[in-house]
Amino acid sequence: MTIFGVTVSLATLWFLAAGILAVIEAISLGLISIWFAGGAVGAAIAAMLGAPLIVQVIVFLALSAILIGITRPLAKKRLNAKTERTNVDALIGQTGMVEEKITQYRPGQVRADGKIWTAACTSGEIEKGAIVIIKSIKGVTIMVEEINEEG
């Protein structure tokens, strides 16, 4: 193939595409373009072996899909495994004690993590002194459920 008067092989173009995709991955860190870079390397190898262009494209697409399907979930799991919840998100799942009665129509207060928080529940009433578990956070209000003593 001749581009601007320079003869370039398809393998060189595939390797160039792989390099560009690798640079894009290095900039974005999105774990997407790196798999296409792998597919481009596979297509370049097919080109060096003399495969026609249609076979190179099929190798590129198939290898990219395989790499995305198999390795991306593993890579995301490994990279996100060390994510720690911080600040308010760390409260979810913790327990607290009701300091002021909570109803579904009127927020109360819960002591959790050594602090007093505005708390609400989605149904019923929770009396002062009850132990609750923090289910979620909506704005500055923690959403709680009472822990039943029976189990």
Domain boundaries, the chain: 2-80, 87-146
Q: Tens-of-pLDDT digits for all 151 residues of the chain?
A: 677 777 678 899 999 999 999 999 888 877 778 889 999 999 999 999 999 999 999 999 999 999 888 887 777 776 665 555 556 677 888 999 999 999 888 999 999 988 899 999 988 899 999 999 999 988 888 999 998 765 4
- 82: region left, alpha or beta (phi > 0 left; psi from -120 to 50 alpha): alpha
For domain 87-146, the CATH class is mainly beta
Nearest CA-CA partner of 16 in 51, 33, 41: 41
